[in-house]
Chain A
Amino acid sequence: MRGKTFKGGIHPPYNKQYSKDLPIEVLDGAKEMFYPLSQHIGAFAEPVVNVGDKVFCGQVIAKAGGFVSANIHSSVSGTVTAIKPYPHPNGTEVMTIVVENDGEYKVHEYIKPNKPLEQLTPAEIVDIVKEAGIVGMGGATFPTYIKLMPPKDGAVDCVIVNGAECEPYLSSDHRVLVENTKGVLDGLKIAMKALGVTTGYVAIEDNKPDAIEIMVQCAKEYEGITVVPLKTKYPQGSEKHIIKAVTGRTVPSGGLPSSVGCVVINTDTANAINTAVVTGMPLISRVVTVGGDAIENNKNYKVRIGTPVSFVIECAGGFKKEPSKIILGGPMMGTAVSNTDVPIIKGTGAILSFTDEALRETASSKCMRCGKCVEACPMFLQPLLLGAYGKKDDIEKMKELNVMDCIECGACSYLCPGHQNPLQYIRVAKLKIGKAGKK
């Protein structure tokens, strides 16, 4: 069985063997839980509770602050003790609601199962997903309900569940696919109904044969859902590249997946959609892989959103070696955090801690024009030139070279023998262009 794929890309060491066979363990909340008002792309949510209020599991504590925004729910029951700026995984301080956990996990009476799927209209489904605060849990954290609203021209004809999980070390999606196969498929079915389409795909990289096998078996009971094995290659899990691999369509420069008739949702997101529709429980927990060479035990945890990273690390047995870097997300696209007080938010797929030896930091030398970065770039850009113009801060030239098409996969920086790190300059340029555009 040869998996489908795209052109370009790289093969970093995947290192999934450490955690891929570990079943998901459910973790209780910490004493204090932190809910930043920004856990998604778009406008901040607005708090609807006050200090001293009693809150319950699943209760809305902050309402979406705009069209592109998402509700935030308490994942424990307890008392709101503060609403204050607090360290956020992105490195800044963000307004955060702090809830003291009473350890009872009482569910809010508002949470009750919805009508069975057959009786729900697409608009009702979109509403449930919106209320549940579900966002893309692969890291991009785009509010899912917007994706589920069919575009006016009705061009969408398929939904793809992204089970590629191409980032090294990560196994959270893998575990969800294996342990919660039905949940993922039901979530996909719900998304298909919301969009009024009859074709659904579950795309899985072929380094997860057990997940593919069980998926194929379960998918037989679902009409219109096909399981697509993909070749293992980074960045296969990128929205644009999974569409290319599954359907052969190319998302145009600057276009959205819906412009080629596709909607892509992450595995854990599909699962969350199903939970929200079936039980009424909003997005309050997610699966997180704990790994890296500095951690005592590798784990796959179902963590309540808002749990501080330090608490999760303690549960995994703490560090066995002095960590030099802690990364939330995968090693290719994740963010390095400066302290472990930051909470797990909706888009946090992993906590990885590495020692200096594992990171092997190297000084950059010269670009020798080997072209490896050009060959690897899945967006067919010229990272070597982007990097060179970036060093000169020549944003105009970078724009001409389509810098905005870069998906920030990091393949170029990973592969560069001279350690030029073109992506670093690209990110700076994209930020500057974005800021200039807003003015």
Chain B
Amino acid sequence: MSLLKVSAPPHISTKNDTNVIMLDVIIALMPALIVGLLFLGTEQCLLLQLVRFLLYWLNICGQS
């Protein structure tokens, strides 16, 4: 048997980590984004920038 790991409890953790939660945020923003794009177009829609930013963050989290 190879060496066993030891660590402090708890030994299990939830699957809902930051990436999953941020993805949820993006999904929740979708309706608002669509409406925003419809009414304001791509240039003035702040939300689009926000979603872009969140995706960028997810990318960072994914790499670390």
* Chain A 394-433 interface 0/1 with B at a Cβ cutoff of 8 Å (1 = within): 0000000000000010100111111101011001000000
- A53 and B3 alpha carbons, distance in the complex (Å): 36
Decide yes or no: A324 and B5 within 8 Å by CB, A331-B11, A365-B61 being known contacts.
yes
Stretch at the interface among B15-23, B33-41, B42-50: B15-23
Q: Mark A136-147, 1 if CB is under 8 A from B, else 0.
A: 000000000000
Q: Which residues of A contact B5 (CB under 8 A)?
A: 324-325, 336
B7 to chain A, nearest CB (A): 6
Taking a contact as CB atoms closer than 8 A, the residue among B4, B13, B14, B17 that contacts A338 in the complex is B4
Min distance, Cβ B46 to any Cβ of chain A, angstroms? 21
- Chain A residue numbers with a CB within 8 Å of B64 are 363, 365
Indicate whether A360 sits within 8 Å of B13 (C-beta atoms), given known contacts A368-B18, A370-B21, A418-B18: yes
The reply to whether B21 and A417 contact each other, CB–CB distance below 8 Å, is yes
B12 in contact with A418 (CB, 8 Å): no
Chain A residues with CB under 8 Å of B11's CB are 325, 327, 331-332, 334, 336, 354, 359
How many of chain B's residues touch chain A, expressed as a range? 20 to 34
Q: Which residue of B lies closest to A412 (CB)?
A: B10
In this complex, what residue of A is CB-closest to B20? A417
A187 → chain B, closest Cβ, in Å? 28
User: Which residues of chain A are near B6, meaning CB under 8 Å?
Assistant: 91, 325, 336-338
Query: Pick the contact of A323 from B4, B10, B16, B18 — CB < 8 Å?
Result: B4
Given A322-B2, A325-B5, A336-B5, A419 contacting B10 (CB threshold 8 A):
no
Is A257 interfacial (CB 8 A cutoff)?
A: no
Chain A residues near B3 (CB-CB < 8 A) = 338
Q: Which residues of A contact B13 (CB under 8 A)?
A: 360, 362, 413-416, 419
A423 touches B9 (CB 8 A): yes
When distances are taken between beta carbons in the complex, the residues of chain B under 8 Å from A338 are: 3-4, 6
Question: Can you list the 6 inter-chain pairs with the closest CB atoms, starting with the nearest?
Answer: A410-B10, A336-B6, A331-B11, A417-B18, A331-B12, A332-B10
Interface residues of chain B, those whose CB is within 8 Å of chain A, are 1-18, 20-21, 61, 64
